[in-house]
Structure 1
């Protein structure tokens, strides 16, 4: 649980249950999850945020968990290099929290994808500062919402993730697309020694059409660099992209 909360900023109770307690019988899963998380809270390693997912009647599954300062310090004993910038939990605004939970949902879904397939595994997932990339010799820092590396026995796909919740204006979206395209055109390798492709998830088909329209007005490389899908489709789209490469002839 602590390592998962270091990977992502927050987890809802239901996300934690899916991620960490999937091998427990469904009838006992929620009870065991409450017990384990209760102990971590009592030890001062995990904190619950003030807001819930689904309102006041959502029960403990709607609680939102974050790593406490004590949890960070404990993990630092194993690897201080992984120490994140934020040292204690706090309750962010509703828009930021919804965005953070959407990123966590991608992580949980990709872990579940790996469990269900012998051909796919999540090799790396990072958010915030751990996902940022500064090209050598450049003063431009790429700040994706997440970095995901999916691997098969023979192929590894590196993706930058942009979780668009419909709050950014089209000019800001266009500027973000141009930054990624400029980097891809530079020929400079990115994380893993490759130029990651960029998956942009949206919350509606209308927003998807708007983003695809921006991409169509860019140079041809953009159509290869960017993939647009709705949030519930992210794991399936990344899996399909990976498996298409696996099936390609040598």
Structure 2
């Protein structure tokens, strides 16, 4: 980076608002990798330092080198007022410096989006934060499937790009909201999955109601018309007991199609995913 560009990337730390001209100069001088950091945080709302390292800083000779570079880039983006770290009391939900949690600052959102859009960073509830971080964990788990010899590409859509709109049987507009939607292409097949991440905060009736929404969307035929098959619905739980209760309830329900669902705990997801792809 030239000295002139570096000078552009050092706004006054005391300023809370970056005007349009300065934001334009920052954007022009910004390395693509820094922009990718902003996009990835925007995609998941909240990410830890470790998440960002695992998503983006993967071409270093060692883990220590990747960690140092990640921290350096995040510190620069924070000085530029493009990202913000959550307060330590929330960040403490995960231990260690790699668990520092980041969100976009208003200037970072403006850099990525239309100037007219409003964005306010805020302190999330612990429940919402934990869910966002768990979804990011699963996203990374999906990306790790590329280490399987038969897997060629993996595409992952986060909310709201994972959502599906359809018309219910009564003509009402309905919205299905998976946490993630993935497409795994292997040498022989294309596997599509809708993924729900549950930390044990949803009651069993709520989970089964969501399964009913998938059944309704399946009945619409939209996915089948486009892709000739309906995706598997993957439920990921933190509790083995909760997972077993959901699995048993799905099998007993006359309204649900058991073959449509896979129920697994988070620590078994990677192993189970490999089995599903065989």
Aligning the two structures, in what range does the TM-score lie when normalised by the shorter sequence? 0.7 to 0.9
Is 1:164 equivalent to 2:198 in the alignment? yes
Which ranges of structure 2 fall in alignment gaps of 5 or more residues? 1-36
SS in 2 for 1:141: strand
Higher RCO, 1 vs 2 (CA within 8 Å, ≥6 residues apart): 1
- Partner in structure 2 of residue 247 of structure 1: none
SS in 2 for 1:106: helix
Larger-Rg structure: 2
TM-score normalised over the length of structure 2: 0.75
Which ranges of structure 1 fall in alignment gaps of 5 or more residues? 245-250
- Partner in structure 2 of residue 103 of structure 1: 135
Alignment of 1:3-22 (within 5 A): 3-22=39-58
Answer whether contact 1:7 1:126 (CA < 8 A) is retained. Answer: no
- Partner in structure 2 of residue 52 of structure 1: 91
Structure 2 CA distance, aligned partners of 1:4 and 1:192?
28
Structure 1 CA distance, aligned partners of 2:225 and 2:75?
37
Relative to structure 1, is the Cα distance of residues 210 and 12 closer, same or farther in structure 2, using a 3 angstrom cutoff? same
Relative to structure 1, is the Cα distance of residues 54 and 161 closer, same or farther in structure 2, using a 3 angstrom cutoff? same
Answer whether contact 1:40 1:46 (CA < 8 A) is retained. Answer: yes
Q: CA RMSD in A?
A: 2.7
Answer whether contact 2:212 2:256 (CA < 8 A) is retained. Answer: no
Structure 2 CA distance, aligned partners of 1:205 and 1:103?
18
Is 1:234 equivalent to 2:234 in the alignment? no
Alignment of 1:111-150 (within 5 A): 111-114=143-146, 116-121=147-152, 123-136=154-167, 138-150=172-184
Per the TM alignment, residue 138 of structure 1 is displaced from its structure 2 partner at its CA by: 4.6
Per the TM alignment, residue 156 of structure 1 is displaced from its structure 2 partner at its CA by: 1.9
